[in-house]
């Protein structure tokens, strides 16, 4: 096995999570050098069967969040496999799980049981609605949280039905919060020598992630509502139609608005008292919008994009996903990496974090079910290794 590199090299993560939030968090840790052992039931992670689409018969959903990991099948109802899982937890720096609260207690893998033999463990639990009596029994699905949190009430046309976001946005957000929590607890362990239980739930991540919309209610007493693609506090800050397709235009201050209308050939709008300040433009958006659209419809979105960006006003075309990847390539972000080598390499989206003195790793393609099971089970059956030793 090739030794891992990166800023988290040397950390061992026991990954008991499934589907998206937990696997996304552990993939980020693995990218940065942590050794992640993905523990799966005999049936495997649910996302292995979530298709289409597929690549070489494997779900692209699974491929998207499981690189740089090793897979071992452990049936927690089997005495030998359960003992191996407990030994993995005893040796790990981090344990990540997203079972229902208390779900791992019957296997001796809850926080108290693991911390009793491994007091340095950073034990991360991701749930839907927390571990308290009011939320512990509620199923933690992203779509349900999008509904309950209020996000869907904000998404869609003002006179239309509520819509879900195009991705499981709160699963991803909870995964990010979990990874932040893990790294914070590891930092604290340097001072105390002790690990701790890190808890993240989708609803809390959702309410935090609603930022200005949740703040509008808790700080201002205002209940936000659906506005389509419009912004409640800024205008223009939305897609506007050009001759071929929409262009998102975001003039966030008075100087940007003046430059925008100069490029559009209607500089007098900047001095119109209805549009002089942002609050004026927001109040009179119904009058201003058609004046901007009348000019934008005279050219294509990309023609306007070039000129408006050159004037220092943020804007961007509405792309499909392939266009988004191509745009990232065009600006030099190199968004696609190949994980693994040769015919086994899998295209994947680059880890978004860049360091001046470290780099992410892309050496292990998402593993087939139990791909490393024999080596990991053999390693766990041996006497406790030195801290820098790894399963081979």
Integer Cα distance of 184 and 196 in angstroms:
10
Identify the sign of the CA torsion 246, 252, 253, 255: negative
Integer Cα distance of 88 and 111 in angstroms:
14
16: CB partners within 8 A, 6+ apart = 22, 39, 85, 95, 96, 97, 98, 99, 104, 109
303: CB partners within 8 A, 6+ apart = 242
- Asked if 277 contacts 252 with a C-beta cutoff of 8 angstroms, the reply is no
Tokens 């995964």 sit at which residue? Answer: 175
Integer Cα distance of 252 and 72 in angstroms:
51
Active site residues: 171
Provide the total of helices (H) and of strands (E) in the chain, helices listed first.
15, 13
């Amino acid at each position: 096995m090739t030794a891992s590199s990166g800023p988290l090299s040397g950390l061992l993560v026991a990954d008991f999570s499934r589907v998206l939030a937990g696997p996304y968090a552990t993939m980020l840790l693995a990218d940065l050098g942590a050794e992640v052992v993905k523990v799966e039931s005999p049936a495997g992670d649910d996302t292995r069967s979530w298709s289409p689409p597929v690549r070489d018969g494997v779900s692209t959903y699974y491929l998207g969040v499981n690189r740089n990991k090793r897979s071992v099948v452990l049936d927690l109802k089997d005495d030998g496999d359960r003992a191996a899982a407990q030994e993995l937890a005893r040796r790990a720096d981090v344990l990540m799980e997203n079972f229902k609260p208390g779900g791992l207690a019957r296997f001796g893998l809850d926080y108290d049981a693991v911390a009793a033999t491994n007091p340095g463990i950073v034990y991360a639990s991701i749930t839907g609605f927390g571990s308290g009596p009011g939320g512990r029994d509620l199923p933690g699905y992203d779509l349900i949280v999008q509904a309950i949190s209020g996000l869907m009430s904000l998404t869609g046309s003002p006179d239309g039905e509520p819509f879900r976001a195009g991705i499981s946005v709160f699963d991803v957000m909870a995964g990010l919060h979990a990874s932040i929590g893990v790294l914070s607890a590891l930092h604290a362990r340097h001072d105390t020598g002790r690990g701790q239980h890190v808890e993240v739930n989708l609803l809390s991540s959702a309410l935090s992630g609603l930022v200005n919309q949740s703040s509008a209610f808790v700080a201002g007493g205002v209940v936000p509502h659906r506005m389509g693609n419009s912004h409640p506090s800024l205008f223009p800050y939305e897609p506007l139609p050009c001759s071929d397709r929409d262009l998102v235009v975001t003039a966030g201050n008075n100087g940007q608005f003046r430059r925008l209308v100069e490029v559009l050939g209607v500089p007098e709008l900047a001095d119109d008292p209805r549009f002089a300040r942002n609050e004026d433009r927001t109040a009179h958006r119904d009058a201003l919008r058609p004046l901007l659209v009348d000019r934008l419809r005279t050219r294509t979105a990309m023609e306007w994009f070039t000129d408006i960006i050159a004037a220092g006003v943020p804007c961007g075309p509405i792309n499909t996903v392939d266009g988004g990847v191509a745009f990232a390539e065009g600006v030099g972000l190199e968004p696609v990496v190949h994980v693994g080598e040769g015919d086994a390499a899998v295209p994947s989206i680059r880890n978004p974090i860049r360091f001046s003195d470290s780099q992410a790793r892309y050496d292990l393609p998402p593993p087939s079910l139990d791909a490393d099971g024999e080596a990991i089970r053999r390693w766990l059956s041996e006497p406790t290794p030195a801290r820098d030793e790894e399963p081979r």
